[in-house]
Structure 1
Amino acid sequence: MLRRVRGRQELWLGVLGVLLAFGVCEAVSRAGLVRRSYLPPASEVLTRAVELAGDQVFLDGILATLRAWALGLGLACAVAVPLGLLLGSVPVVDAATRAIVEFLRPLPSVALIPLVSLLLGSGTETKVALITYACVWPILFNTVYGLGETDPLAKDTLRAFGFGRLAVLLRVELPGTAPFIAAGIRISAAVALVLAVATEILAGFGEGLGIFIAQAGLATDGNRDVLAGVVWAGTLGLVINGVLVGAERRLFPWTPEQRAAAEQGARG
């Protein structure tokens, strides 16, 4: 019950924040503090964003962006989770690869766009490669950290009953690490969307939400379309995050935050 009340409060506070930002942008533009060609009224931008929902070409671009997003995020999960389990379970491998990991991790994915575009072109392959590279790190380090937080008593108990290393991994470590992996995927999902749109903007041609924003920016008085595209990008990010947060709460109700909420609800 308490969790529902908190959820409603957060929802209404979020709606209030959006309305406040909308009102400020509308007032600034209408008052002439900023030229309309630079900052159109928020109502016009929102109207244009709604109009784009009926544009099949625009929707095809959205699908192209989401396709690259999903492929890159999926590949990152397929690489990072097994690698994280290996590094977290075998100290020798972790020590041997730590220098390489720490060298690659700080490299910004955006800085690699020219190189990857030169090698793979400017199509879906480039977007997927960059998204995969950027998304591997949050999932990888969350997986390693989650293994370190696994209950040692549960592992020792299984070993005492004769279970092998693989059985301990599958029965204790992987379920205990799953909430951390889910959190890493949620973080990476936002990074993946940013990389997908940014890569499309820098490419300047093809299809995708970033392509629409880039081409609108080159058009005369195209700022309204640019901002409408940004609204769509923000909405996609908000929806994706909401879906993943909801999935985490349903799949992992035993996490510390959920347990604390349940305890407070019981006391209330």
Structure 2
Amino acid sequence: MRFRRIVYGAAGVAGLVVVLEVVSRTGLVDDTALPPASTVLREAGRLAVDQDFLVDVGATLKAWAGGLLLSVLVAVPLGVLLGSVPVLNTASRALVELCRPIPSVALIPLATIAFSTVVQQKMALIFYACLWPILVNTLYALRDVDPVAKESLRSFGFGTPAVLWRVSLPSAAPFIATGVRIAASVALIVVISTELVAGGDDGVGLYLNETQAGGGRNDLLLAGACWAGALGLVANAGLIWLERIAFRWQSARSEGVA
């Protein structure tokens, strides 16, 4: 089944490449605006061995990983605290719903003033954007823990910390991991968007900006965008792999139910 999904996915990508190639080559779209897919892929392959571009990728990944890790370290314990104490959960609900829709890009001017380096600015914006999906997933996961399982443990004399450690967290962990995976994609969007708007010394977003200097090279722009998408694909696949290893029991249970 997994092999079939991979084959279908590859076929979908190949089909899109063919369509874009035909659209550009036949003149349906100006090839300066939308270069042929073969040209874009050739440039993407060249970027794979371009040292300057690899430095940009490294700078983007450094900020991405730092901001995402910081958001996990803060959002998960905060979500556990709010989800375990009903009074705190009720008191914070309005604040969470107020702050969650604010786009991180809108906070770029504030981050520029508050932080002295570009890396700190990017990590702060990533942290803000990723905090909410992880926090909300943690809250909902704890709310949906089977109450019978918790009451059963309490009936054997276990206190609240033991119930949280033995029942609530193991049950909520797969959903928290899903929140982290969603946040990882959000983080990549935020870091590249910040580089596009705020600039800096290195980064994939800065490279995308530079492709438009001096008349614009859309083939290089799209090649860089392809690599941005590839980074997101690899990050998502890696996190799914880690989830399957860490929560193998859940996969086995799901397959059994199916």
- What TM-score comes out, normalization by structure 2 length? 0.95
Instruction: Report the AA paired with residue 184 of structure 1.
Output: G
- Structure-to-structure mapping, 1:78-89, within 5 angstroms: 78-89=73-84
- 1:90 matched to 2:85? The reply is yes
The whole-number CA distance in structure 1 between the counterparts of 2:143 and 2:161 is 16
CA distance in 1, matches of 2:175, 2:147: 17
In the alignment, structure 1 residue 259 sits paired with structure 2 residue 253? yes
Inter-CA distance 258–251: structure 2 relative to 1 (3 Å threshold): same
- Alpha carbons of structure 1 residues 159 and 127: separation in structure 2 relative to 1, 3 Å: same
CA RMSD between the two structures: 1.5
Q: How does 1:8-157 map to 2 (within 5 A)?
A: 8-121=3-116, 123-157=118-152
Q: Secondary structure at the match of 1:219?
A: helix
> What residue ranges of structure 2 are gaps of 5+ in the alignment?
none
Match of 2:249, SS? coil
- 1:185 aligns with one of 180, 189, 194: 180
- Structure 1 counterpart of 2:227, one-letter code: W
In 2, the alpha carbon distance for the partners of 1:123 and 1:40 equals 32
The residue number in structure 1 matching 2:235 is: 240
* TM-score normalised by the chain length of structure 1: 0.92
Q: Whole-Å Cα distance in 2 between the matches of residues 263 and 148 of structure 1?
A: 23
Q: What secondary structure sits across from 1:207 in the alignment?
A: coil
Q: Percent identity?
A: 50
2-side partners of 1:219 and 1:246: how far apart? 43
Q: Is the 8 A contact 1:134 1:192 kept in 2?
A: yes
Deviation at 1:122, TM superposition (A): 6.0
1:24 Cα offset (Å): 0.8
CA displacement, residues 65-111 of structure 1 (integer Å, 9 cap, x when unaligned): 00100011001101110110011110111112222112111111121
Question: 2:153 touches 2:163 (CA, 8 Å); kept in 1?
Answer: yes
The alignment status of 1:227 with 2:222, answered yes or no, reads: yes
Point out the more displaced range, 83-92 or 152-161: 152-161
Tell me the matched-pair count: 258
Contact 1:249 1:258 in 2 (8 A): no
The whole-number CA distance in structure 1 between the counterparts of 2:136 and 2:43 is 41
Secondary structure of 1:254's counterpart equals helix
**Structure 1 residues 19-65: Cα deviation after superposition (integer angstroms, max 9, x where no partner):** 01100111111112222221111111111111111111110110110
